[in-house]
Amino acid sequence: MNDNLHQLRCFGCGARIAGADALPDFRCAVCGDLFEVEYPGWSQRRGPDRPNPGALKWLWRERKSSAEALDHSGVWRFRELLPILDSFGNAITLFEGNTPLYHLPRASKALGIDQLFAKHQGMNPTGSFKDTGMTSAMSVARERGFEWVACASTGNTSAAMAAYAARAGLRSLVLIPDGKIAWGKLSQAMDYGAITCQLKADFDGCLTLLTQIVKEAPIYLLNSVNPYRLEGQKTPAFEIAEAFDWNVPDHLIVPGGNLGNSSALGKGFRELHDLGLVARVPRISVIQAEGANPLVRSLAVTHGASLEPVEAHTRATAIRIGNPASWRKAARVIQDTGGWCLDVTEAEIAIAKAELGAEGLGCEPASAVTLAGLKKLRAQGVVASNETVVLVLTGHTLKDPQYTIDYHRNALLTEAEMAAATPAERASHAHLRKQPIVLEADESVVLHALEAQMAAAHASRIPVAPGIPV
């Protein structure tokens, strides 16, 4: 590794080590906390390693039309800000990143916020934001000569790891907790050739065992304790800043599960600011599910000084995490940027997901906490109508089709959950739910069934996405 360019700094005690000296479990030998990657050259304001803001912006823009394969990656296009490899020829890419930024005309209107956008990380190759972090960490694994990689995972992480391992020509191992997940969630890992082992243990048990294994065998650990994951995951911050012509939005709203994503995006914006590429950083808020809200509790009770694990319950499986690895980093990001941390109910999540669907944007349930959270923040009066807000959607709707089917067939939310919803939420639910109709195959019957719908549609025109300037 090019340890002249990067080093690891412990987030707990501040100890600094060379990248190659990290223990296999990526925990600090002094205090046991997580590391983050830092680049000493950048702090020398006039040093030769310090990137030039204007030149970088120009270079990254030029790369969009480059014929070089690596430039087609939305992560490695920004490789000057993640110099973690000796040779970028070792980069493993599936052309991740470059994800779309969608305006949300209907939610904008409903919430009275003009500039409301969704950055859809579910449009990555394996269908989740994990790809952006896997490309960076897998490249490190290959450069360091590993032939095996592994993670404990119940879903998106295993899919991303298996795909990038296959691309790299490495073997991959996924440890799955016993009886806690559907096989459907593992279909991608199997598809990409991972060896999947279901253990008679819970998630923490799997991770503990895997930590022991990587200390004894030459297997590279790719859970989110690996700090190189966050280096790739910070690049959507660069894409967002670039999309707004380097005038960053006022507010970024991120789902909170294991909290690596909010940590990484916060790091990305902080580095842009430190390097003089942007004049300020956005407020970053983290939204959790009510039944999996350890960070909400931590900030409310101890101002982020400690975190009490909870037993997690939510249908939004991607954020069903009671003991998040990166909570300390995420708490720092929220506090440093002036963001909020709050939780939302199962009904609020489901209805927000249907509202995003009505904008033509599918996402996995966990992603919809962002819109649900924004609605609450707006109701509390803490988000102004003239703010530019970006919701970070983290996974593709096809990650969990059963949730969508259950919602529309009225099999998802309990009566108690619906009863606890506000009248406005219930009205939105009644409007958006599309229960399938079963009809005789007779033209007049179908036409008749449609007539009322068509009349109603005529009376209440849907706000259309604004015309696209050409």
Dihedral over Cα of 425, 427, 431, 435: its sign: positive
- 461 sits near a copy of itself (criterion: CB under 8 A): yes
Among 171-179, 255-263, 296-304, 382-390, the segment contacting a copy of itself (CB under 8 A): 171-179
Residue (10 or 82) nearer to a copy of itself, CB: 82
Q: How far apart are CA 107 and CA 111, in angstroms?
A: 6
Among 88-96, 280-288, 319-327, 341-349, the segment contacting a copy of itself (CB under 8 A): 88-96
For the bound state, the minimum distance from the C-beta of residue 173 to a copy of itself, rounded and expressed in Å, comes to 7
Q: How far apart are CA 92 and CA 198, in angstroms?
A: 28
Binding mask 188-227 for a copy of itself (x = CB under 8 A): x-xxxxxxxxxxxx---xx--x--xx--xx----------
> Which residues does 145 contact at the CB level (< 8 Å), separation at least 6?
none
- 115 sits near a copy of itself (criterion: CB under 8 A): no
- 455 sits near a copy of itself (criterion: CB under 8 A): no
- 86 sits near a copy of itself (criterion: CB under 8 A): no
- 448 sits near a copy of itself (criterion: CB under 8 A): no
* Helix (H/G/I), strand (E/B), else coil: 229: helix
- 457 sits near a copy of itself (criterion: CB under 8 A): yes
Contact, 145 vs 119, CB < 8 A? no
Contact, 51 vs 42, CB < 8 A? yes
- 170 sits near a copy of itself (criterion: CB under 8 A): yes
Contact with a copy of itself (CB under 8 A) among 61, 280, 303, 313: 61
Q: Quickly list DSSP for 328-350.
A: HHHHHHHHHHT--EEEE-HHHHH
Give the total of residues touching a copy of itself (CB under 8 A).
111
Dihedral over Cα of 241, 289, 127, 139: its sign: positive
- 186 sits near a copy of itself (criterion: CB under 8 A): yes
For the bound state, the minimum distance from the C-beta of residue 262 to a copy of itself, rounded and expressed in Å, comes to 25
* Touching a copy of itself, residues 347-366 (CB under 8 A): 353-354, 357-362
Contact with a copy of itself (CB under 8 A) among 48, 415, 436, 452: 436
Angle at 135 between CA 133 and CA 138, to 5 degrees: 100
* Touching a copy of itself, residues 131-150 (CB under 8 A): 142, 147-148
Structure tokens of 187? 């279909």
Binding mask 20-59 for a copy of itself (x = CB under 8 A): ----------------------------------------
Contact with a copy of itself (CB under 8 A) among 261, 345, 394, 397: 397
Residue (42 or 95) nearer to a copy of itself, CB: 95
Angle at 314 between CA 310 and CA 319, to 5 degrees: 75
Structure tokens of 411? 């099999």
For residue 101, list its beta bridge partners.
Answer: 119
Q: H/E element holding 271?
A: helix 260-274
- Looking at residue 466, the DSSP 8-state letter turns out to be P
Contact with a copy of itself (CB under 8 A) among 93, 367, 370, 428: 93
For the bound state, the minimum distance from the C-beta of residue 174 to a copy of itself, rounded and expressed in Å, comes to 9
- 450 sits near a copy of itself (criterion: CB under 8 A): yes
For residue 286, list its beta bridge partners.
Answer: 254, 341
For the bound state, the minimum distance from the C-beta of residue 191 to a copy of itself, rounded and expressed in Å, comes to 4
Other CB atoms within 10 Å distance of the CB of residue 31 = 12
Q: How far apart are CA 275 and CA 255, in angstroms?
A: 27
- 169 sits near a copy of itself (criterion: CB under 8 A): yes
- 411 sits near a copy of itself (criterion: CB under 8 A): no
Q: Residue with structure tokens 């790739």?
A: 232
- 110 sits near a copy of itself (criterion: CB under 8 A): no
Contact with a copy of itself (CB under 8 A) among 430, 437, 452, 459: 437
Residue (72 or 426) nearer to a copy of itself, CB: 72
Contact with a copy of itself (CB under 8 A) among 166, 275, 418, 420: 166
Beta-strand ranges (E) seen in 222-331 are 251-255, 283-289
126, 185, 332, 337 from 238: Cα distances, Å = 21, 30, 20, 17
* Touching a copy of itself, residues 268-327 (CB under 8 A): none
Contact with a copy of itself (CB under 8 A) among 145, 443, 452, 459: 443
Q: How far apart are CA 341 and CA 4, in angstroms?
A: 37
- 340 sits near a copy of itself (criterion: CB under 8 A): no
Q: How far apart are CA 177 and CA 183, in angstroms?
A: 11
